[in-house]
Amino acid sequence: MSAVLKKRSTLLACLWLFCLFPNFALAAIIVTDDAGNIITLQAPAKRIISLSPHVTELIFAAGAGDKIVGTVNYSDYPAAAKAIPRLGDNRQLDIERIIAMKPDLLVVWMHGAFERQLEPLRQSGIPYFFSEPHTLENIPETLIKLGTLLGTEKIAGTAAQEFRQELAQLSSRYQTKSTVRTFYQVWGKPIFTLNDKNIVSDVIRTCGGENIFGRLAADAPSVSTEAVLKENPELIISGDSKNQAQSGILQWKDYSNLLAVKNHNLLALDGDQLNRAGPRIIQGAKAVCLAMEAARNKRTIDSMSNRKVGEK
């Protein structure tokens, strides 16, 4: 058989196999989500529903914001996210509408309300990816996984690399410095905080701090004013309002004996930069690190002042 006939025979055989098995030549896309589930797609997802604000931010950062066909309330960043149709909130999802939109991927955040509504989505057969980063390093990992699922590997890889570089700079500069005991307030009335399972605690650790309520069992425990006073944190951070004039940080200013108040170590942040486990958290982390460094510097100033008084 001539070389030409051999090539023709091989080509015909390949075409025959491809007709019988259309996915024969296509490698499946396989990733593992934050809950340990394996997600398999035969092609990059083109119609995505994001069921959490932080997920929306991650998808945009991974270069696939234009593929989101539905999301939930408070998905307001970046600005383009505000135009995406809403399918519910963290309490109630419109399951029928989600299924009717025929997404080829759901990207979700596990919480109580979603767990109760998970079964009909499971039965629908729509693939879903759970996103719940517990550490800052999980964020670039998630960007890479989303880029793989959505066919935007290059953009996602660049975003992941930039995040890792900024994180490495913060870690090398602050992580080994003297500990700053820190109280993070999610909400002021009643007072809610977060334990060490939350990514906010990893921000605090990265900056060389300690979450004073990190060891509590509940993920988002309610604590009393007396408990905060007893722990006497050196730094208090409030992320309960985008408006500093309305921040819960103000409720502590009357407690003049509290170390954080005495040393003016009170930081009010836009909570979206810390409570949302998306790329913007690195900006929140920078602000936290600077606040901790300021607290350390005030120790030095106080120590020098006391030494001069003693010398006299």
Which of 40, 42, 47 is CA-nearest to residue 102?
A: 47
Which of 184, 254, 253 is CA-nearest to residue 221?
A: 184
* Fold equal for 15-157 and 175-309: yes
Residue 225, C-beta contacts closer than 8 angstroms, at least 6 positions apart: 191
Provide the pLDDT for residue 189.
87
Provide the pLDDT for residue 118.
73
What is the C-alpha separation between 105 and 201, in angstroms, rounded? 30
Instruction: Tell me the C-alpha to C-alpha distance, in Å, between residue 52 and each of 55, 68, 177, 269.
Output: 5, 12, 35, 21
Spatial contact of 248 and 187, defined as CB atoms under 8 Å apart: yes
Q: Does domain 175-309 have CATH number 2.40.50.140?
A: no
> From first to last of its 312 residues, what are the pLDDT tens digits of the chain?
454 444 344 444 444 444 554 544 457 999 999 999 999 999 999 999 999 999 999 999 999 999 999 999 999 999 999 999 999 887 788 999 999 999 999 999 876 556 677 778 878 889 999 999 999 999 999 999 999 999 999 999 999 999 999 999 999 999 999 999 999 999 988 999 999 999 999 999 999 999 999 999 999 999 999 999 999 999 999 988 666 556 788 899 999 999 999 999 999 998 899 999 999 999 999 999 999 999 999 986 665 455 444 454
Provide the pLDDT for residue 278.
95
Spans of all domains in the chain? 15-157, 175-309
Q: Report DSSP letters for 152-171, one per residue.
A: -HHHHHHHHHHHHHHHHHHH
The model's pTM is 0.86
CB atoms within 10 A of CB 301: 10
Q: What CATH code is assigned to 15-157?
A: 3.40.50.1980
Q: What is the CA radius of gyration of the chain?
A: 25
Provide the pLDDT for residue 74.
93
